[in-house]
Amino acid sequence: MGPNTTSAAIENLSIAVLTVLALPLSIAILQRLYFHPLARIPGPCLAAVTDFYAFYFNYVQEGGYSKRLKKLHAKYNSLVIRIGPNHVHIDSPAFFEEVFRVGSKYTKDPAFYKHFGGLDSMTDPQDYRTYRNHISSLYSARSTDSLAPSVLRELQIISTKLHGKIATNEPVNIQRVFRTLSSDIVLQILFSEDVNLSECVEYHPFLEALDTVMAKTWLSKSIAFYCEGWANNDQQAPRKGNQSGRDSHMKRYLEIDPSDEKKARAVPHPLEDIFNFIAGGSDTTAYSTTCAVHYLLTSPSALSKLQAELDDAAPYIRHNFDHRKIQSLPYLGAVVKEALRLSNPVPGCLPRIVPENGTRVGSVFIPPGTAVSVSLMSIQQNENIFRDPQKFIPERWLGKEGEATQRWNVAFSRGPRQCIGINIAYLELHTCLAYLFSHYEFSLSGRNSTELKWVDRFVSHNTEDVMVNVVRDRWT
Give per-residue pLDDT as tens, 385-399.
Answer: 999 999 999 999 999
CA dist 436 and 453 (Å) reads 24
**Residue 231's pLDDT band (boundaries 50, 70, 90)?**
low
**Higher per-residue pLDDT: 276 or 290:** 290
pLDDT band at 241 (very low <50, low <70, confident <90, very high): low
Beta-bridge partners for 172: 468
Report the pLDDT averaged over residues 8-19. Answer: 56
Distance CA 262, CA 249 (A): 18
Q: What local confidence, expressed as pLDDT, does residue 220 receive? A: 43
Name the residue with higher pLDDT: 38 or 28: 38
pLDDT, tens digit, for every residue of 243-260? 556 788 778 877 777 777
- Higher per-residue pLDDT: 454 or 88: 88
Question: What's the pLDDT band for 356 if we cut at 50, 70, 90?
Answer: very high
* Sequence-ordered alpha helix ranges (H) in 216-366: 221-236, 249-254, 261-266, 270-278, 284-297, 300-312, 323-327, 330-343
How far from each other are the two terminal CA atoms of the chain, in whole angstroms?
99
Q: What is the spatial distance between Cα 404 and Cα 407, in angstroms, rounded to a whole number?
A: 7
Dihedrals φ, ψ of 460, to 5°?
Answer: -70, 150
Rg (CA), the chain: 25
Contacts of 321 (CB under 8 A, 6+ apart): 148, 152
Exposed, middle or buried by CB within 10 Å (0-12, 13-18, 19+), for 431?
buried
Asked if residue 116 lies in contact with residue 122, where contact means CB atoms within 8 angstroms, the answer is: no
Look at residue 242 in the predicted model and tell me its pLDDT.
54
- State the average pLDDT over residues 357-385: 96
pLDDT of 12: 55
pLDDT at 218 over 60: no
- Highest-confidence segment of 182-191, 210-219, 254-263: 182-191
Do 414 and 108 form a contact (C-beta atoms < 8 A)?
A: no
- Mean pLDDT across the chain: 87
CA distance 177 to 261: 43
Cβ-based neighbour number of residue 396 at 10 Å: 21
pLDDT bucket at 238, cuts 50 / 70 / 90: low
Are 235 and 275 in contact by the 8 Å Cβ rule? The answer is: no
Q: Which amino acid is at 318?
A: R
What pTM was computed for the model? 0.88
Q: Residue 217 has what pLDDT?
A: 46
Q: Domain 36-223+245-473, CATH 1.10.630.10 — does that match? A: yes
For 385, other C-beta atoms within 10 Å of its C-beta total 16
Q: Which of 411, 432, 464 is nearest to 182 (CA)?
A: 432
Give pLDDT, residue 288.
97
Stretch 52-78: mean pLDDT: 87
Residue 311 CB coordination number (10 Å)? 12
d(CA 434, CA 400): 25
- For residue 271, pLDDT over 80 is answered with no
Give the Cα separation of 158 and 416 in Å (integer).
35
| Cα 392 from Cα 295, distance rounded (Å) | 7
- Enumerate the known binding-site residues for heme: 419
281 vs 5, more confident: 281
Averaged pLDDT, 373-379 = 96
Instruction: Give the pLDDT of residue 119.
Output: 84
CA distances from 66 to 83, 346, 373 (A): 11, 10, 11
- Cα(27)–Cα(19) distance, rounded to whole angstroms? 12
**CA 455, 458, 460, 463 torsion-angle sign:** negative
Q: What three-state secondary structure class fits 24?
A: helix
Cα(462)–Cα(287) distance, rounded to whole angstroms?
A: 8
Asked if the model's pLDDT at residue 3 lies above 60, the reply is no
More confident of the two residues 103 and 262: 103
Query: Has residue 440 got a pLDDT over 60?
Result: yes
- Whether residue 261 has pLDDT greater than 60: yes
Binding-site residue ranges: 419
